Structure 1
Amino acid sequence: MKIRNFLLSGCLITALCSCGTSQKENLNLTLSKDVLFDKVKGAWAGQILGCTYGGPTEFQYLSTIIPDSVLIPWGNGEIKKWFDGGGGLYDDVYVDLTFVETFERCGLDAPVDSFAAAFLAKEYPLCHANQQARYNLLQGLPPHASGYWKNNPHANCLDFQIEADFAGIMSPGMVNSAVGICDRVGHIMAYGDGWYGGVYVAAMYSLAYVSDDIEYIVTEGLKVIPRESRFHACMTDVINWHKQYPTNWKKCWEEIEKKWGTNDIACPDGVEVPFNIETYVNGAYIILGLLYGQGDFEKTIDISTRAGQDSDCNPASSGGILGTMLGYNRLPEKYKAEMVIVEDMPFNNTVSFNKGSELSYGHALQMIEKEGGKISGSEVKINFQKPVPAKLEISFEGLKLDKRVVVDNWIANFPPIEFEGTGAVIKGELKGENVPEEYVAELEVYFNDKLIEVCKLPLKYNHRKHELFFNYVQPYDKYTVTCKWINPVKGADIWVRDVITYTTDK
């Protein structure tokens, strides 16, 4: 392997190249407008196709590989059937497109408040970090705080990782511009590793415009992530294991599972169970597909799918990144044939594939000019940006799992929970029959008879609080947790599943 230095757009870039040529020679910074549009279209198509391919197995295989004996179906009307079923599979796409619409409406300098307002105005179904962010915004929390880990137990979940595609798609070869967009939008629902997942995906999309070298895209894109972060450490491990086992993705998967497969801190739904929706594990499955797929679209999305866990969103990301590199015209015909059927059908409360591609293409042209590139006649010249690490953020710093207590009963039978530590999460939901949708339950939570919070719990599903209660920041002490429902109504009840308590790693 040779180390090469070269100048590009005034920046000294060091490239590791095993092919005998420098990355300066390999980077294509001049594209025809037709090629640029083809890559934009390939990006969106790749995301949709990957999501559809992995849809039938989403969270069906937890901490296990989907066996080769399990055939993943692909037939006529494969995408349309998900549309006909309500389109909820495509949460990564329709949230993505919401931000595309915001740029179109408000311009490239749209402030975070515009994105938050657009996100809040949509009534499509959401989960995890996105849903908690929606709840936080409805409660009056500012956008920059709605994804912060003290306000969002799902701050490290993959929500922004699966919907940051738009930032990279509109920033060809301009990774730092993509990161800037992620800073504005991603903190609405994420922080720390949860934010880094989106930043990394956006950076890889950006680089996929100008390089046909998957390893370069994966390794160069990682330079936008601080080395001190957990996310960077996990992605680095995957890259190194790929070098160690270059032809055996399943062995690489085993190493990922062994070191990174267990998580008892961030997402409350993943505590002491194999379910894992954290960015780093699912991000590992994105680049697992990219590295071992070797530029083959079907192989790439199949590996990212068979790695398990969020098996629709991970191939959506790897498929979208590879689709950007290949362009729409080079995608396999059997997949494009299904895209044609739905190409003008709007995604849940947003725009269609064709319209989204058109809008992102226009935004990419605007970004190229804004960041010092040139548009002349039928071609564009990109002012390439050397990746710069984003700021360091650490979610749930110092927290350590104390225990998980299964309650699985109505709030009227909630037992006092004793623990020694700094905080707790109470999982459950408000249920109601013949209760007005606008009803909001109020649940008082006490630590040692001290009122910690009056939890407001909307009955309306799209306005719900993802957990009944969470608080990680009490002084270290011995506590007894108790609850009191102060405004019960006939037909409503509060079901409690688990109480998870936390201590510190001191």
Structure 2
Amino acid sequence: MTLVGVDVADRVLGGWLGRIAGNMLGKPVERGDHWTRDRIDRYLRQADALPLTDYLPEPVEPGVELELRPEWRECVRGRIHGSCRDDDVDYAILGLDLLETYGFGFSTEQVGELWLLRLPYLQTFTAERAAYRNLADGLKPPLTATYDNPYQEWIGALIRADIYGWTSPGEPRRAASLARRDAVLSHTGNGVYGAMWAAALVAAAFTAPTVRAALETALTVIPASSRLSRTVRRVLSLHESRLSWEETLSTLAEETSGLGWIHTIPNAAVLTAGLLYGDGDFTRTIALTVRGGLDTDSNGATAGSVAGVLGGATAIPPQWKDPLEDTVRSAVFGFDGVRISELARRTVRLAKTEP
């Protein structure tokens, strides 16, 4: 596939680099019930790191209230040598392996088969772990998503969706269709819509003139009556009314309260706000998204992917790319230590050869 005036290879590499960098930025504060927006900013002020223009700084003072996740030593500025292992990146790798193994006609059952073959059970969480257990017990989709699974509308399917956008540049409906086939293994309702929306958003970013245009295009692939669609439109409206980023997030926090910090809806609100107020600037986009709280590493990863596709790898500042050392740690069997550039090349090969 070729797109007039679009360097697909640079945009795909930008997506991979952006996803990994955004994930790394958010990982040390990934615990939305503790790391609220106010607490994240308090940590950054204490370290004299506002505005946030690089990976998180090391802790200035010990203390339970501002204690980072245990992996922080591999994810803060000055200590990063290649990416940390994380499920937000593992699923992008697994999706690439899925498309290389089964092609774009893959079935939901084949997604499950690949999970059992390539993904360790203890590296799955919430809805994915429930679906994995159901697969191991012999259940078939869609029962894998619905049986004994209280996480059906959480964010897990959304974080698996980028690969379908990267391999469908400029084709958001195709991307959404692929993401849906993957998502129904473990999710229902807004959990599935979140994956479709994210895949379409990434695909639209290859050709959209602005991030707002990409967001509006992505909304066309999900039901307008869904809560996800209504929430994203609400963020678009608040941004258009010239509310500040802080005021927009405070408003949305009230309107989505009670859903939990890993649910698709509040996280989509934080992600949409980060993209809109970041306005195409890579650093500002991932910084605002992570500062928004909730599932910080997942939201940072998706925001980084969209911003990376919008501007390409060449537009990502070196402080985000260089510490990654073109290397990914992964729990997906056969992929630990793989080069980011190699993942991007393989992704482009699929995007260009598939009709």
Q: Which category of TM-score, normalised to the shorter sequence, fits these structures?
A: 0.7 to 0.9
Number of residues of Structure 1 aligned to a counterpart in Structure 2: 318
Q: CA RMSD in A?
A: 1.9
Q: Distance in 2 between matches of 1:212 and 1:326?
A: 11
Structure 1, unaligned runs of 5 or more: 1-27, 264-269, 271-275, 371-506
Match of 1:102 among 98, 105, 118: 98
Residues 1:99 and 1:143: Cα distance change in structure 2 (over 3 Å): farther
Q: Distance in 1 between matches of 2:87 and 2:308?
A: 19
Is residue 160 of structure 2 the alignment partner of residue 175 of structure 1?
no
Is residue 45 of structure 2 the alignment partner of residue 69 of structure 1?
yes
Measured after TM superposition, the shift of residue 151 of structure 1 is 4.1
Match of 1:297 among 272, 279, 282: 282
Residues 1:93 and 1:106: Cα distance change in structure 2 (over 3 Å): same
Measured after TM superposition, the shift of residue 146 of structure 1 is 1.2
C-alpha offsets along residues 165-194 of structure 1, whole Å, 9 cap, x if unaligned? 111111001111111111211111111101
Q: Report what 1:38 is aligned to.
A: 10
Q: Distance in 1 between matches of 2:81 and 2:300?
A: 15
Is residue 23 of structure 2 the alignment partner of residue 51 of structure 1?
yes
Conserved 8 A contact 1:63-1:261: no
Counterpart of 1:319, as a letter, is G
Is residue 312 of structure 2 the alignment partner of residue 310 of structure 1?
no
Q: Find the residue that maps to 1:172 and give its secondary structure.
A: coil
C-alpha offsets along residues 47-82 of structure 1, whole Å, 9 cap, x if unaligned? 0000001111111545544325254325234253x6
Conserved 8 A contact 1:260-1:281: yes
Measured after TM superposition, the shift of residue 212 of structure 1 is 3.4
Q: Distance in 1 between matches of 2:299 and 2:267?
A: 6
Q: Distance in 1 between matches of 2:223 and 2:332?
A: 36
C-alpha offsets along residues 424-472 of structure 1, whole Å, 9 cap, x if unaligned? xxxxxxxxxxxxxxxxxxxxxxxxxxxxxxxxxxxxxxxxxxxxxxxxx
Residues 1:345 and 1:64: Cα distance change in structure 2 (over 3 Å): closer
C-alpha offsets along residues 67-117 of structure 1, whole Å, 9 cap, x if unaligned? 25254325234253x63xxx2xx2011022112102112222122222110
C-alpha offsets along residues 316-339 of structure 1, whole Å, 9 cap, x if unaligned? 101100101111111001111112
Q: Report what 2:60 is aligned to.
A: none
Give the percent of matched residue pairs that are identical in Structure 1 and Structure 2.
25
Q: Report what 1:420 is aligned to.
A: none
Which structure carries more helix by proportion?
2
Q: Distance in 2 between matches of 1:132 and 1:40?
A: 31
Structure 2, unaligned runs of 5 or more: 50-55, 58-75
Measured after TM superposition, the shift of residue 31 of structure 1 is 3.8
Q: Distance in 1 between matches of 2:267 and 2:246?
A: 15
Is residue 211 of structure 2 the alignment partner of residue 209 of structure 1?
no
Conserved 8 A contact 1:45-1:328: yes
Q: Find the residue that maps to 2:159 and give its secondary structure.
A: coil
Structure label with greater radius of gyration: 1
Q: Distance in 2 between matches of 1:59 and 1:333?
A: 28
Is residue 141 of structure 2 the alignment partner of residue 134 of structure 1?
no
Q: Distance in 1 between matches of 2:223 and 2:27?
A: 32
Q: Find the residue that maps to 1:196 and give its secondary structure.
A: helix
Q: Find the residue that maps to 2:267 and give its secondary structure.
A: helix
Q: Distance in 2 between matches of 1:143 and 1:360?
A: 27
Is residue 158 of structure 2 the alignment partner of residue 158 of structure 1?
no
Q: Report what 1:349 is aligned to.
A: 332
Q: What TM-score comes out, normalization by structure 2 length?
A: 0.85
Counterpart of 2:22, as a letter, is G
Q: Distance in 1 between matches of 2:102 and 2:93?
A: 14
